[in-house]
Structure 1
Amino acid sequence: MKNLIRIILFVGIIFMAGCGQSNENKGNNEDNNADLTPVTFALDWTPNTNHTGIYVAKEKGYFEEQGLDVEILLPGEVGVNQLLAAERADFGISYQEGLTQARSEGLPLVSIAAVLQHNTAGYASPVEKGITSPKDFEGKKFGAYGSDLEKAMMKTLMENDNADVEEVDYITTGDSDFFVAVERDVDFSLVFYGWTGIEAELRGVDLNMVYLADFSDELDYYTPIIATSEEMISTDPELVKAFTHAAVKGYEFAVEHPEDAAQILIDHVPDLDPDLVKRSQDWISPRYQDDADQFGTQEQERWQKFADFLLEYEIIDEPVDIEQAFTNEFLPKK
């Protein structure tokens, strides 16, 4: 396993020579930013409303107030966790499920803030499929990525609803477009409502949603999260604090001003559908903080429950020290 990790990191460093292109125009700003500390932030996916707070913090000058010049890296051939572990990015968007697995494999990553307080992922299906609970998955075709974690999650939900996971027909669709897949190949698939669900609304497609968190406490994990490395925390905790404070301020702005925040994202990423961004931002802004005392906070119990779940289903081979996997230390004191 250690050799595999070394290979992954080595490949990641090679690929970074040709990936991680930023959508920010740095050429005209180099002189202005000469006194700022350069910081790289890696996105997990095409820019979307999970990332709005970062773009707000950059646009509104919150990073500069903290002495930082943040470069936003678009996703490339190498995943965020590998970039952070290889010190090819300072911070990035990750997920509790991926970070927990990474730590079990020896990658020393740490979550420093939750972007969404509760898991908004769920199984989506056109209403005519009649899928309103895990029991209804029986006899249906599921559009799967093909991971063991995916099967474990479905098994948990279905057992909690007295249903048999063996009655589900798995069809590997990978990254296929959800709308094409449910029209042509499958009955339902796992999506994040804040983007794909909102797109369905704009398309006039009525969906039923079976949310993971509604049927299983252990699957109400934090997704997405803002992550960094143990090395970054150890060598420059003040930088981590500065970055976190600015990012939190950006997301707090998006909570209070969703329309303005959406426009900032649109201005920075003009290829995005403006209607989708605005509708998505309206939906997701209240869910950034949700019922938490402040944006970004994380609970040890929820990290532990999900780690135990991964261990029970043998998604990870060894227990993970949860106290090392996340921290609220760098969040602003309220």
Structure 2
Amino acid sequence: MKNLLLMVWISAIFTLTACSNDDPSNSESGADEEETLEEIKLVLDWTPNTNHTGLYVAQAEGYFEEEGLDVEIMLPGEAGADQLVASEKADFGISAQESLTEARVQDIPIVSIGAVIQHNTSGFASPKEKDITNPADFEGKTYGGWGAPVEEAVISSLMKKEKADVDQVDIVNMGDTDFFTAVQRDVDFAWIYYGWTGVEAELRNEELNMQYLTDYSEKLDYYTPVLTTSENMISENPKTTEAFMVAVSKGYEYAIENPEQSADILIEAVPDLDPELVKASQQWLSPKYKDDADRWGEQDIKVWENYSDWMYENDLLDSELDAKNAFTNEFLPN
């Protein structure tokens, strides 16, 4: 009887051992095959909107994970995206050519690695009843802005073409007040991105007059927004940077081809957004991500030189920009 029990016990041990060896999760080789995702921080320039759709698509569709990345999408807070990227508290960020140009001239080591939208879709907007149909009509009106020197310079540049005087414009800081509230109170016109605020006006059945920057100067057709990273990230982690851009490119290509589905992804990721606005904005913006470029994200040195020249000519820069080091296309997939 004792011998029988011993044989049963030995048989059970062999059976358990065999099962354990057949289970990859319990084997050393199985543990080696498990891929550890690299944790990455991506900081937005503002609250989530359709400029950022491709990022949320890349996250939801698993494109980041396919490239071995675990990406946390962060809001900028008081520090701002450029500062967080430059100080390497975030690996990648969303910025704009104008602020990155200022940063580069001040020796802040951030670089643009992709254009989110190929052409500038911003301009000065006003309710139709204000009867502001060209920059000359800015005279005697109140502009509501955020207090940046570039605002007066752009307004002046447009008005000069119409032989009008920027000194005749009352420029006020409207802070966090939204466009629609501001123009109902003490503001006549403001600088907006049509793809969001302009589309919202359409949904509200509020007619706007628009003076797009690109209608008045080729030099104002700059990249806004752009994806950024630090010089250190590029030099020390080029494979990670390339992997990130492969995933992001897939996300924006998806959003170009599937505006309705990509809008749903953004709405699910950020439930506080107005679904009707997101869907309408996405339909308007999706064709503009890539537009006439050969591939999404492509940047042209002429665009960087044109705008930095304009900034320098308008005393917005202390020195000229070395444009070739301000951006790179090397991490975009072919």
Deviation at 1:146, TM superposition (A): 2.0
Residues 39-65 of structure 1, C-alpha deviation per residue, up to 9 Å, x if partnerless? 110011111000000000011111111
Q: What residue in structure 2 maps to residue 83 of structure 1?
A: 84
Q: What CA distance in whole angstroms lies between the structure 1 residues aligned with 2:77 and 2:172?
A: 26
Superposed, 1:140-289 pairs within 5 Å as: 140-289=141-290
Q: What residue in structure 1 maps to residue 66 of structure 2?
A: 65
Q: What residue in structure 1 maps to residue 131 of structure 2?
A: 130
Q: What residue in structure 1 maps to residue 301 of structure 2?
A: 300
Q: What CA distance in whole angstroms lies between the structure 1 residues aligned with 2:128 and 2:57?
A: 36
Q: What is the letter of the counterpart of residue 85 of structure 2?
A: L
Q: What is the letter of the counterpart of residue 234 of structure 1?
A: S
Q: What residue in structure 1 maps to residue 37 of structure 2?
A: 36
- Which of the two has higher C-alpha Rg? 2
Q: What CA distance in whole angstroms lies between the structure 1 residues aligned with 2:199 and 2:38?
A: 37
Moved over 4 A (4+): none
SS in 1 for 2:51: coil
Deviation at 1:140, TM superposition (A): 1.4
Q: What CA distance in whole angstroms lies between the structure 2 residues aligned with 1:320 and 1:88?
A: 25
SS in 2 for 1:184: coil
The share of aligned pairs that are identical, in percent, is 57
In the alignment, structure 1 segments of 5+ residues that lack a partner are 1-32
Residues 83-141 of structure 1, C-alpha deviation per residue, up to 9 Å, x if partnerless? 00110000010000000101111111100000010111110000111112112212211
Deviates more, 1:78-87 or 1:127-136: 127-136
Deviation at 1:175, TM superposition (A): 2.5
SS in 2 for 1:128: helix
SS in 1 for 2:112: strand
Q: What CA distance in whole angstroms lies between the structure 2 residues aligned with 1:249 and 1:34?
A: 21
Q: What residue in structure 1 maps to residue 93 of structure 2?
A: 92
Q: What is the letter of the counterpart of residue 303 of structure 2?
A: R
Q: What residue in structure 2 maps to residue 22 of structure 1?
A: none
Q: What residue in structure 2 maps to residue 7 of structure 1?
A: none
SS in 2 for 1:183: coil
Check if 1:101 corresponds to 2:102.
yes
Deviation at 1:34, TM superposition (A): 6.3
Q: What CA distance in whole angstroms lies between the structure 2 residues aligned with 1:223 and 1:304?
A: 15
SS in 2 for 1:51: helix
Q: What CA distance in whole angstroms lies between the structure 1 residues aligned with 2:162 and 2:147?
A: 23
Q: What CA distance in whole angstroms lies between the structure 1 residues aligned with 2:333 and 2:171?
A: 44
Deviation at 1:204, TM superposition (A): 1.7
Q: TM-score, normalised by structure 2?
A: 0.88
User: Does the 8 A contact of 2:41 with 2:73 survive in 1?
Assistant: yes
Q: What CA distance in whole angstroms lies between the structure 1 residues aligned with 2:228 and 2:138?
A: 34
SS in 2 for 1:189: strand
Q: What CA distance in whole angstroms lies between the structure 2 residues aligned with 1:314 and 1:174?
A: 24
User: Does the 8 A contact of 2:35 with 2:68 survive in 1?
Assistant: no
Q: What CA distance in whole angstroms lies between the structure 2 residues aligned with 1:202 and 1:155?
A: 31
Deviation at 1:249, TM superposition (A): 0.7
Q: What is the letter of the counterpart of residue 202 of structure 2?
A: E
Deviation at 1:174, TM superposition (A): 2.4
Q: What CA distance in whole angstroms lies between the structure 1 residues aligned with 2:229 and 2:189?
A: 34
User: Does the 8 A contact of 2:305 with 2:323 survive in 1?
Assistant: yes
Deviation at 1:208, TM superposition (A): 1.0
Q: What CA distance in whole angstroms lies between the structure 2 residues aligned with 1:90 and 1:147?
A: 26
Deviation at 1:293, TM superposition (A): 1.1
Q: What CA distance in whole angstroms lies between the structure 1 residues aligned with 2:323 and 2:69?
A: 29
In the alignment, structure 2 segments of 5+ residues that lack a partner are 1-33
Q: What residue in structure 2 maps to residue 28 of structure 1?
A: none
Q: What CA distance in whole angstroms lies between the structure 2 residues aligned with 1:325 and 1:232?
A: 14
Give the alignment's Cα RMSD to 1 decimal: 1.1
Q: What CA distance in whole angstroms lies between the structure 2 residues aligned with 1:296 and 1:238?
A: 18
Q: What CA distance in whole angstroms lies between the structure 2 residues aligned with 1:174 and 1:149?
A: 16
Q: What CA distance in whole angstroms lies between the structure 1 residues aligned with 2:161 and 2:101?
A: 24
Deviates more, 1:83-92 or 1:127-136: 127-136
Q: What is the letter of the counterpart of residue 67 of structure 1?
A: G
Q: TM-score, normalised by structure 1?
A: 0.88
Aligned residues: 301
Q: What residue in structure 2 maps to residue 5 of structure 1?
A: none
Q: What CA distance in whole angstroms lies between the structure 2 residues aligned with 1:228 and 1:306?
A: 20
